[in-house]
Structures are given as structure tokens and as C-alpha cells.
Amino acid sequence: MRLFFMAILLLYAGTSLAADAAQRAVFRDALAAAQQGRLDDRSDLRAQLQTYPLYNYLSAAELRYRLDTDANAALDTQIQSFISAHPDLPPAESLRRNWLPTLARRDRWSMLLANTKDSDGSTATCRAVNARIQMGGNPRAAALDLWRVGRSQPDACDPVFGWLEAQGLLGADEVLERARLAVLAGQFGLTRYLARQLPANRRARVDQWLDVAETPANLHYASAGLDGDIAVYAFKRYALRDLDRAADLFTPLAERLQLDEAQRHDMKRQLALLYAQSQKSQALVWFARMDHARMNDDEHALGWEIRAAIYHERWPLVVDAINDLPPAIADEEEWRYWHARALEAMGRTQQARTLYTPLAQERSYHGYLAADALDQDYSLNEQPLVVDRPARARVESRAALDRAYELRALGMEHAAGLEWNAVIDGLDQAALAQAARIAHEWNWHSRAIITLVKADYWDDLDIRYPTPYSDAVRQFADDNDLDPAYVFAIMRTESLFQPAIRSSAGAVGLMQLLPGTARLVARRMDATSPSSSALTIPEINIQLGTGYLAQMLDRWDGNIAMASASYNAGPQRIQRWLPDDDMDPTIWIANIPYTETRNYVQRAMSHMTVFQARLNENIVPLDKRIDEIKPSYGDQTASR
């Protein structure tokens, strides 16, 4: 092993991967100067970086500064040349995106069109269509496509819509059509704006749509002429607010409005799903009323039909529903397990064992449950990745690899991630696997794990289940009476070991703590209240994350499934999902209403199993690890 790592070091010696701290400090100074338009005054810095992998980042920063301060035709030519010369350089792409709006402001229509991509989004698309108009074109179809959208479009679309109006292409029919789309998208403000552009007789129709869409209970009084799709939209909203009353309304409403079979199916689907996700037996009734010929491609509804039957232990229904699944769906591990489980519950033990046996060889949540059913040890199926030097050479030949390495060394993680995407773009599976090993050698665990998935290689557990920050995990797990394998499992599931990651909801760091939650936990632990930035420090995040995880376990009397669900979705939601009677935990987990949380709990339990093996712990079988779900938890937690 020592010789292997020496070989790696020798492989990188003499390349930019061996850049030293002094050179990186020079780059930092040069980048700051370029971003402030002062790099020309620091020729000494530029000279020292001629061979540095990130040298072109300086040129991009200079061009961006000039673009912000003095955009002109000569600069446009320079930017065009830079982008053309560096098509795979992330700052070149960022420069292009920032350049486009300045081209529009300066009427540089031809250059704007030449540099706009289909993937740039609606604002760029509107600019491009306007460019065609300004250049004398007649992009009627493209302009109308921008109009026929049920949401507010960006300001860049206004000139396009003005052109449509001037061409006489936005009559009452077109305005009414968009108002209808806006209602169906829930954009009621836009709907009212459009209604004001209509004559009174047309406006009354929009008012009728808004009446039921905004106040769905008004469907009880809806007239026969109501648009069917609007009625279905309003009905779905009504079901979310008052499920039982919506169910009672289904038949009279469908008959009064003479809804077609597709519309009726859509309404029944909503009722069935909501009853299933509320753990109500009415779900089985509504699924039975659905036209299953329309459900062949509806994996979501098919799954919930089975889950509802599982929840109410209607095992023959489970078997029938799984037998009716399309083969590709029926072959998923979840349904293979529940097929066997249902057969076992019906006394068809040998058939169940036949299904359990191959599934028990899988390293997965449902594979482990199958092994438990057979009283077998778990199969971890570890197969370390073999070094493939030609494939590795294909990765190392990419300049983006050097840039990604340097950006990580500089602490510029987001930019490094963009470069990593350039590294792996277009690689074959063998090269992707070697790229994953390189990222692992850099301790860049998130990229290593994700890249190995792209390579469709699943059995190198050293790469897929690393144990970084081990000292902190062990210390704080011990302080909170937690299994370190559980902490690693939560950390992997939450962040893929990225200490600075922030979610769209504001959760921060390795264990994805909301700042407010972290402060409450710190107060309970008599620890220093952390700032949001402090939560990116691994030791602080792990200390507070393990404290919160311990609180969740305490709240649910040590039930690890409920604690995991609470960590993801919040304890208040879990309180609402408690059953009326004691319940098998695997049935409860299978029926967690939120797909994200259901998958989260299953992944956490599966990951914990592997980490127990990686940490040389005794592997605790799932049927011993996960306790029964009790409605009395609700009584216990009310006073906590």
C-alpha cells in the first residue's frame, strides 16, 4: 500500500498537481487584482503564473471586470475569441452568460443569437426571439410558444409580446387561452392581469374559473358549462383541503359536468393517493375504481396501490397488484421483497423463499430484509476497483483535472465541482471508475461517490463508504450514546461528506443542520451558539448533529426508524404519521407519505449496515435494529 501511494505521488510530481502554497498565494493576489481591473499594474504576478493551471481564470476575470465597466464592440470581439478558445472552461461559460444581456442592451443582435444556447433558459430564449424580430425576421411560432405559458415570463419577453400584439396575433382567444393555462398552473395573479385585457363577456368566463380554483368548495355549485380541466384542477385542491367531502362530490360533479373518462380517472387518482398517504382504508376502494389500463406507466400510483394494501395487510391484494405490474417495475427490489412477504403471510412459504433467496444476495435495504426472513448473514459483495492504467491515463490527460485539483487546494469548492464535471464529461465507464478513484485519493468523497455511480460500479466499499472525520464522529457519538455507524450513515445520506454544502432550505454542513435547530441543540447541550458559517466546521457540525440525532432517538424512545424520519422531515410530521395500533416497522416505513423521507430512512438503515462492517462492529440485523411502531409514542412525546 505504501508503494502504491508513493507511485501516485511520483505520478503527480512535476505536474501542476504539485503546485506549492507560494504559487497559490500568487494566484490569489493575481485573481483579486484581475477582478478589480488592476492586473495590468501587476505584471510581476502574471509572469509567475504563465504555466499555472488556472492562468486562464485571470483572463476571464479581467474580461468580466471590463464587461461590467465598459462594454463595447472591441471587447465583444475579445470575449468571443476567449469563449471560442476555451469552450470547456467554466469561467468562460459564466462570462458568456453575463455577456448576453449586455449584447441585448447594445442591440448586438447577430452576436447575441450566435452565442445563445437552447439550455440558457426562458430569459435568454426571449432575448433570442427578440433578436430575430429586430433583425427583420418573423418568428411567429417561437413568439407564440413564449406566450402560451401559464406563468409570468421574464421582462425580456415584453418586446416579443409587444411585437405579437402589433402583428395582431394576440386577440381575445389567445389571451383567454393563456388565462386558462395560468389558472391550471395556480398563477391567479397572472390570470387576473390577463382577464383585464378581455371584453366583459369573455372576462366572466375567467371569473368562473377563478371562483372554483381559489375556493374549491364552490364546486358544489358549479354550473354545467364549467371547463372540465379547470374543474379537475379545483377538485384536486378541494381533496387536499377536505378529502372526505371531495370524495362525496366526485360522482355528482362528474355527472353534472359530463367529464370524460380521462378527467374522471385523474380525480379518482387524486382521491386514492391522498387516502393512501393518509393511511385510510378508503384508498383500496378508490384504487379499485380506477381504470388500470390507464395506470401502466403511472409508477407512482401503482406503488401507492401496493403500499395501501400492505398497510392494511391485504396480502392477496398485494400479490395481485404486484403480479399486474409492468415487468420492469415488478423487478424492482422493493416489490420483489413485498411479493415474497405477502406470499409468506398467506402461508405460501416455499414460494416466498424462492423470491427471498436471490434478493438476499443484494447489498440493500430490501436485500437485508430478505436475508432476515431467511435468517441469513448479509451479503456485502465487496469488490475493490482494479487499477486500469490506460483508463486512468485518459482521465489524467484532461486539463480540467489539474484545474479541479488546484481549485480544491484554494478552497474554491464550487468552481472545483464545475471543473470536475468537465473532467468526467464524455468519459467511458472504465475511465469514470478511475476518475472516482482519483477523487477518492484526493479525499473528495462526494465526487468519488457520484462518479462511481456514473460508472455503474457499486462494489468498491472503500470509495462508496469512506469514514472521514472519524475522530470527531467517534468522540461525539460516544458522548451521545450513538453508534458511530449510524452517525456516518446519516452524514452520508445528508451531505455525501461535504462540510460546506447548503441546501435550498438553508440546512448547512455535514449533518445538514438548520441554523435555528443548531442553536436550540447548542442551548440544550450548554454549548456555544453557532453562526451559520460555524456549521461548516466539521467538528462543530458533528457535535451538534449528533446531539440533535440523540434528541430524536430520545423523543421516540430509541426507535431508530422514527428518529431517522424525524431527522429528515421533522418530528411534528412524524407525529401525524403514527398508526392507530402497534405496527410492524417495515410496513410503517413502506408507507411514509413523503417519498424523500421514505427513501431516506431506507438508505440510512442500509448505509448503517455497511458502516457497521467498515468499522468492524457487529452487524445488527434490521429485524433486531428497528423496533415496532407504537401509537403510544404520541402520548410520550406530548410532554417532551
Mean pLDDT computed over 327-353: 98
Tell me 460's DSSP state. -
Instruction: Give Cβ neighbours of residue 463 (< 8 Å, ≥ 6 apart).
Output: 385, 436, 437, 440, 448, 449, 452
**Rounded CA separation 340/458 (Å):** 25
Tell me the DSSP string of 158-182.
HHHHHHHHHTT---HHHHHHHHHHH
**Rounded CA separation 308/301 (Å):** 10
Catalytic residue among 165, 494, 596, 628: 494
Residue among 496, 497, 515 nearest 505 (CA): 515
Contact call for residues 271 and 243 (beta carbons, < 8 A): yes
- 95 is a domain residue: yes
**Rounded CA separation 341/530 (Å):** 47
Q: Which residues of 480-496 are buried (b: 16+ CB within 10 A; e: fewer)?
A: bebbbbbbbbbbbbbbb
Domain boundary residue among 115, 142, 161?
Answer: 115
Domain boundary residue among 415, 438, 458?
Answer: 458
CA distances from 339 to 288, 323, 324, 330, 360 (A): 19, 8, 12, 9, 14
Assess whether 477 and 410 both reside in one domain: no
Is pLDDT above 50 for 1?
no
Q: At 449, which CATH number?
A: 1.10.1240
- 266 is a domain residue: no
**Rounded CA separation 464/449 (Å):** 5
Measured CA angle at 153 (ends 150, 155), to 5 deg: 160
Assess whether 622 and 517 both reside in one domain: yes
- 36 is a domain residue: yes
Is pLDDT above 70 for 638?
no
**Rounded CA separation 96/79 (Å):** 8
Measured CA angle at 587 (ends 338, 512), to 5 deg: 110
pLDDT, tens digit, 9 for 90 and up, residues 290-303: 999 999 999 999 99
Q: Which three cell numbers stand for residue 576?
A: 401525524
Assess whether 395 and 512 both reside in one domain: no
Please say if 494 is a catalytic residue.
yes
pLDDT, tens digit, 9 for 90 and up, residues 140-188: 999 999 999 999 999 999 999 999 999 999 999 999 999 999 999 999 9
Q: What percent of the chain has pLDDT over 70?
A: 96
pLDDT number for residue 387: 95
pLDDT confidence bin for 635, thresholds 50/70/90: low
Mean pLDDT computed over 534-552: 98
Q: At 475, which CATH number?
A: 1.10.530.10
Assess whether 445 and 535 both reside in one domain: no
Is pLDDT above 60 for 487?
yes
Q: Which amino acid is at 520?
A: L
Contact call for residues 534 and 544 (beta carbons, < 8 A): no
CA distances from 414 to 498, 537, 604 (A): 11, 17, 26
pLDDT number for residue 417: 98
3-class SS string, 322-333: HHCCCHHHHCCH
Assess whether 436 and 533 both reside in one domain: no
**Rounded CA separation 164/157 (Å):** 11
- 212 is a domain residue: no
Tell me the DSSP string of 14-80.
TSGGG--HHHHHHHHHHHHHHHTT-GGG-HHHHHTTTTSTTHHHHHHHHHHHHHHH---HHHHHHHH
Instruction: Give Cβ neighbours of residue 266 (< 8 Å, ≥ 6 apart).
Output: 232, 236
Is pLDDT above 50 for 639?
no
DSSP H helices, 379-468, are 389-396, 399-409, 413-424, 429-441, 445-454, 461-464
Is pLDDT above 90 for 371?
yes
pLDDT confidence bin for 11, thresholds 50/70/90: very low
Assess whether 514 and 454 both reside in one domain: no
Determine how many CB atoms are found less than 10 A away from the CB of residue 293: 7
Domain boundary residue among 115, 138, 165?
Answer: 115
pLDDT, tens digit, 9 for 90 and up, residues 81-94: 999 999 999 999 99
Query: Dihedral of the CA atoms 148, 100, 416, 437 (nearest 10)?
Result: 60
Contact call for residues 203 and 195 (beta carbons, < 8 A): yes
Query: Which stretch of 35-49, 148-162, 615-629 has the lowest confidence by average pLDDT?
Result: 35-49
- 149 is a domain residue: no
Assess whether 538 and 601 both reside in one domain: yes
CA distances from 52 to 20, 25, 46, 48, 55 (A): 11, 12, 10, 8, 5
Assess whether 474 and 450 both reside in one domain: no
Contact call for residues 358 and 376 (beta carbons, < 8 A): no
Residue among 456, 455, 543, 440 nearest 491 (CA): 543
Assess whether 500 and 603 both reside in one domain: yes
Domain of residue 532 covers: 470-638
- 486 is a domain residue: yes
Which class for 350: exposed (0-12), middle (13-18), buried (19 or more C-beta within 10 A)? exposed
Tell me 626's DSSP state. S
**Rounded CA separation 237/542 (Å):** 41
- 501 is a domain residue: yes
Q: Which three cell numbers stand for residue 516?
A: 435555528
Determine how many CB atoms are found less than 10 A away from the CB of residue 535: 25
3-class SS string, 355-381: HHHHHCCCCCHHHHHHHHHHCCCCCCC
Q: Which residues of 64-75 are buried (b: 16+ CB within 10 A; e: fewer)?
A: bbbbeeebeeeb
Supply the Cα-derived Rg of the chain in whole angstroms.
30
Average pLDDT over the chain reads 95
Assess whether 501 and 633 both reside in one domain: yes
Q: At 298, is the secondary structure helix, strand, or coil?
A: coil
pLDDT number for residue 228: 98
Tell me the DSSP string of 561-624.
HHHHHHHHH-HHHHHHT--SS-B-HHHHHHT-S-HHHHHHHHHHHHHHHHHHHHTTPPPPPHHH
Q: Quote the number of domains for the chain.
A: 3
Mean pLDDT computed over 595-610: 99
Assess whether 575 and 503 both reside in one domain: yes
Is pLDDT above 80 for 385?
yes
Q: Which three cell numbers stand for residue 523?
A: 442551548
Mean pLDDT computed over 363-391: 98
Sign of CA pseudo-dihedral 199, 204, 209, 213: positive
pLDDT number for residue 269: 99
pLDDT, tens digit, 9 for 90 and up, residues 496-509: 999 999 999 999 99
Q: What percent of the chain has pLDDT over 90?
A: 95
Residue among 228, 304, 149 nearest 236 (CA): 228
- 398 is a domain residue: yes
Determine how many CB atoms are found less than 10 A away from the CB of residue 320: 13
Tally the residues of the chain: 640
Assess whether 634 and 537 both reside in one domain: yes
Contact call for residues 212 and 226 (beta carbons, < 8 A): yes
Mean pLDDT computed over 215-242: 98
